[in-house]
Amino acid sequence: MDKEDLTRMLSISRGDEKAPLVLKNANIVNVFSHEIIKGDVAIYKDKIVGIGDYEGVEEVNLEEKFLAPGFVDSHVHIESSMTTPSQFAKVIVPRGTTTIIADPHEIANVKGNNGINFILEDSEDLPLDVYVMLPSCVPATPFENSGAVLKAEDLKEFIDHERVLGLGELMNYPGVVAGDEEILDKILLAENKIIDGHGPIIENKELNTYVLAGVKTEHESSTLEELRNRIRLGMYILIREGSAARNLTTLVKGLTKENIRRCLFCTDDKHPEDILKDGHIDHNMRLAIKEGIDPIDAIKIGTLNAAECYGLKRKGAIAPGYYADLVVIDNLEDFNILQVFKDGKLVGKNLKPLFNTTEVDTSKVKNSVNIKKIEKEDLAINLNSNKARIIKLQSHSLVTEMVERNVNIKNGEFQYSNEDILKVAVVERHKATGNIGLGLVEGFKLKGGAIGSTIAHDSHNLIVIGDNDEDILLAINELEKIGGGITVVSKGEVLKSLPLEIGGIMSQQSVEKVSYKLKDMLKLSYEKLNVSKGLDPFMTLSFIALPVIPDIKITDLGLFHVPSFKFIDISV
């Protein structure tokens, strides 16, 4: 800090001169003393300089509304909002989130270090503090081709970046426990930083080993037993409430006055429509309060605790010297976010952003669809008999079932029929290898078209499902044309596309626009293509290619049987 600045701040704090800005008559949420204290908050530039009775050049009368510290999302993949950091900021900041700890795992799988750089650059000047955990598992599995392979030496260039806090979720927890060399290199790289975990299920000695390796946090806990055992070993628990994974209602039942300091909030993955509908970390807090958690504790979990866990200095509380990241809330029951201040500036009001963002260079993360020319014959599925192994979808679940079905064949080649058996193709789209994984899917129920997407966890290859090869090809070509995104085609016509020009997974448009378009396309899928209402076609598509969720998945390398961790033939 500048000495002149410090001198001025002290003078204002003493009351010798008026503060540039004073928030008057607030009910201040004190996360240190666990009290609500009436008073004013004096602000100079980006910092709080005094609490009590202050006069300001500008005064904002908060009329006894509640004032909380800015919220922290302790673990989030911005990519799940399908927008860039700057667009993401525009919806979460007005909802009270002023700090996020992002793991750019998805864009790194597509664009490697260029992807990480994009997240850092696009978030540079936001009224949102974006910290980054370096993706530790790129690719997520060895059973697919991603756009990049990041080893410890690749991550090294970021480790001393001022906004890089450490190593992102160590999903390969068996590898950590086993002491896999490449993982140890990454752990040693982040030795003096923070390491996030992703190690559900494991207990006892394995859990000891995982923690011993340096893993400090866990956001995958879904049971009270997992929560308790992890807190006992010193882990911080990130209580997650996202779009797919919702653990809050269960986990808050395990909180005590004594262990609460070891808990944080996160969203992990939250889709645009859910953020707009429910909110962001404010939603976690609202829900926790509804579940009986003391509102001050709920706020503490999402502020002070996160700052302590991640070593965020001068953040997470309302106190002299702290950044003036402040959230005005109507009351602690309804918990409506009225205004948000970041670094002393009003940046959100009535859930609307009051700031503009500037575009950054996106040349290294655009044009991410790089495929070899595909012909209709490349989509042929040849079978030994009319019996085939099928990916059977289940309603409202990411888990699939492997079933065997009789299908029509002609000259040994699978033929579409009127039955609910669709073709799915995963096209490697990063390095134009020409790899295509082909499979058959039951339960999707689409008729007369195809749906394609370049969001396909975690390698984000191009995936298309359809009931005829022409529309599948059209979808592939459309996705190539728009540089990645989501498309719905029918009978030779593109009905609608959502371009996701950043890596094929993020849009530079607003969350509202993306959400609106998605809704439209969802409607088309259900109404024009008769997709089963029991599933979200885009989310289902994005997870069919993730070879870590049971039972049967498909990657660009073929059909994959998860329980046996082996590729498997479609032919029985």
Nearest in space to 264 (alpha carbons), one of 225, 327, 312: 312
Residue 404 has a CB neighbour count (10 Å cut-off) of 11
Angle, helices 537-544/511-527, rounded to nearest 10 degrees: 90
Using the contact rule CB under 8 A, the part of the chain among 56-64, 250-258, 342-350, 352-360 near a copy of itself is: 250-258
Cα 450 → chain centroid: 27
Q: Which stretch binds a copy of itself (CB under 8 A): 5-13, 351-359, 482-490, 539-547?
A: 5-13
Q: Is 278 in the site for a copy of itself (CB under 8 A)?
A: no
Q: Between 163 and 513, name the residue whose CB sits nearer to a copy of itself.
A: 163
The CA-atom distances, in angstroms, between 566 and each of 141, 382, 395, 552, 554 are 12, 20, 25, 10, 11
20 binds a copy of itself (CB under 8 A): no
Tokens representing residue 274 in the block: 């859910």
List the one residue from 160, 162, 204, 358 that touches a copy of itself (CB under 8 A): 204
Residue 373 makes contact with a copy of itself by CB under 8 A: no
Return the biggest CA–CA distance within the chain: 91
- Can you tell me which of 322, 341, 355, 543 binds a copy of itself, judged by CB under 8 A? 322
Q: Which helix or strand (DSSP H or E) is residue 106 part of? A: helix 105-122
CA count, 13 A, side-chain hemisphere, 319? 11
Q: How many CB atoms lie within 10 A of CB 286?
A: 22
Q: Residue 61: what are its φ and ψ, rounded to 5°?
A: -80, 110
Closest to a copy of itself by CB, 48 or 340: 48
Among 19, 21, 43, 49, binds a copy of itself (CB under 8 A): 49
Q: Is 201 in the site for a copy of itself (CB under 8 A)?
A: no
| Piece in contact with a copy of itself (CB under 8 A), picked from 45-53, 133-141, 280-288, 413-421 | 45-53
* Residue 336 is a binding residue for a copy of itself (CB under 8 A): no
Binding residue (CB under 8 A) for a copy of itself from 21, 22, 50, 360: 50
Q: What angle (nearest 5°) sits at the alpha carbon of residue 331, between those of residues 325 and 334? A: 110
In angstroms, give the least distance from the CB of 343 to a copy of itself.
16
319 binds a copy of itself (CB under 8 A): yes
Question: In this chain, which stretch among 87-95, 310-318, 332-340, 530-538 interacts with a copy of itself, using CB under 8 A?
Answer: 310-318
Q: Does 52 bind a copy of itself (CB under 8 A)?
A: yes
- Per CB under 8 A, 301 contacts a copy of itself: no
Size of the site for a copy of itself (CB under 8 A): 60
Beta-carbon contacts of residue 33 (< 8 Å; ≥ 6 apart): none
Element (H, E) at 452: strand 450-453
For the beta carbon of residue 180, count every other beta carbon within 10 angstroms.
14
With binding defined as CB under 8 A, does residue 184 bind a copy of itself? yes
Q: List the one residue out of 376, 389, 370 whose CA is nearest residue 553.
A: 389
Q: Which is nearer to a copy of itself, 52 or 448 (CB)?
A: 52
Q: What span, in angstroms and rounded, lies between the C-alpha atoms of 173 and 147?
A: 22
One of 45, 228, 364, 366 touching a copy of itself (CB under 8 A) = 228
Contact 568, 548 (CB under 8 A): no
Contact residues for a copy of itself, defined by CB under 8 A: 1, 3, 6-7, 9-11, 13-15, 30, 32-35, 37, 47, 49-52, 177-179, 181, 184-185, 187-188, 191-192, 204-206, 208-209, 211-214, 228, 231-234, 256-259, 261-262, 296, 308, 311, 313, 317, 319-322
